[in-house]
């Protein structure tokens, strides 16, 4: 286990420093407690949309090209991602560029320009991303399963949103979302790699760069019930040669003491090429290309694909392995 330090800065931002002296690079990541579970019906997809917009121009770098060319010029890589309860941004480059990495990330997150014309242009990009996911059953099956679990709630909605909602999102919607959630006391910054040996130096660098990020009250999400008293089924029809199946059961939360046993069960069922489902479904019967299990986010779930004519038979195999 690598040594690391945690410290809360004066504005409430939590800093985690992970020294890795054997590498010559540094990764700076900012995680904000702002994901799709904080959205409303009229703003579903805005967390992911905002992630895109932070790359479209900031106060110091007024265009996407200005941002990307500065990182490309030092051989760095950068990206972002959006989940149900968080949005993450990161940049990786040689350690000597650490001040620049912090400055670029801070500028993108704190001062996105949100130009109306860029918002309108990016709507097309987001909608095509939504179409791509919906046209990829292997990717889309997870969204369908979450909708079955959580129904018509923020946790049950697609993180990318719906095209008809994306088209209506305005600049003011972004401003409201940022004001509600993008606070330093609702974020974590991680600096990992060949960081300065003095924690004090890293802290001062971040304090100086992010000095205008002020703490404040953040919006709370509505807790969802996980109660279920009977089985549930959801079928999402699309004309394809294959059927993709997700079969799951509610299980332990991430802080439950039995979560490790659940992880072992997941590995036994579908964690590798020697797992029970892989051997039974693929190796012995040749019914599918991919089959695997996963234990996370309060459930144990098994995924696979097969020709649509044999789906009921394969489901019965799933059940046999669980009994």
Read off φ and ψ for residue 265, nearest 5 degrees: -60, -40
Token digits of residue 281: 């479904």
Find the catalytic residue in 39, 51, 122, 146: 51
Instruction: Give CA–CA dist 74/205, Å, rounded.
Output: 20
Strands 187-193, 14-19: pairing is parallel
CB hemisphere CA count around 268 (13 angstroms) = 8
129 is catalytic: no
CB hemisphere CA count around 65 (13 angstroms) = 0
Instruction: Give CA–CA dist 153/37, Å, rounded.
Output: 8
Identify the bridge partners of residue 293 per DSSP, sorted by sequence position: 302
Annotated catalytic residues are: 51
């Amino acid at each position: 286990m690598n040594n690391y330090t945690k410290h809360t800065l004066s504005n409430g931002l939590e800093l985690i420093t992970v020294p890795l002296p054997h590498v010559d690079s540094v990764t700076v990541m900012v995680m904000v407690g702002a994901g799709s579970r904080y959205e409303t019906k009229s703003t579903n997809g805005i967390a992911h949309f905002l992630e895109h917009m932070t790359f479209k121009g900031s106060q110091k770098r007024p265009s996407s090209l200005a941002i990307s060319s500065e990182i490309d010029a030092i051989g760095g890589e950068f990206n972002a991602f959006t989940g149900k309860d968080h949005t993450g941004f990161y940049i990786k480059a040689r350690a000597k560029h650490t001040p620049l990495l912090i400055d670029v990330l801070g500028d993108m997150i704190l001062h996105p320009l949100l130009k109306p014309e860029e918002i309108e242009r990016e709507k097309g990009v987001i909608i095509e991303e939504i179409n791509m996911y919906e046209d990829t059953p292997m990717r889309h099956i997870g969204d369908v399963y979450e909708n079955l679990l959580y129904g018509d709630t923020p946790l049950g909605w697609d993180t990318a949103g719906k095209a008809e909602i994306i088209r209506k999102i305005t600049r003011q919607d972004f401003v409201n979302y940022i004001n509600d959630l993008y606070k330093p006391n609702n974020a974590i910054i991680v600096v990992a790699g060949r960081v300065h040996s003095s924690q004090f130096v890293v802290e001062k660098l971040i304090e100086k760069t992010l000095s205008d990020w002020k703490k404040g009250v953040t919006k709370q999400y509505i807790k969802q019930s996980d109660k279920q008293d009977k089985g549930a089924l959801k079928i999402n029809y699309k004309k394809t040669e294959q059927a993709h199946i997700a079969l799951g059961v509610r299980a332990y939360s991430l802080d439950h003491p039995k979560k490790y046993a659940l992880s072992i069960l997941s590995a036994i069922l579908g964690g590798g090429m020697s797992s029970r489902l892989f051997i039974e479904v693929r190796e012995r019967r040749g019914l599918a290309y991919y089959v695997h299990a996963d234990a996370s986010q309060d459930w144990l779930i098994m995924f696979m694909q097969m020709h649509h004519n044999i789906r009921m038979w394969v489901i019965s195999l799933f059940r046999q392995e669980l009994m």
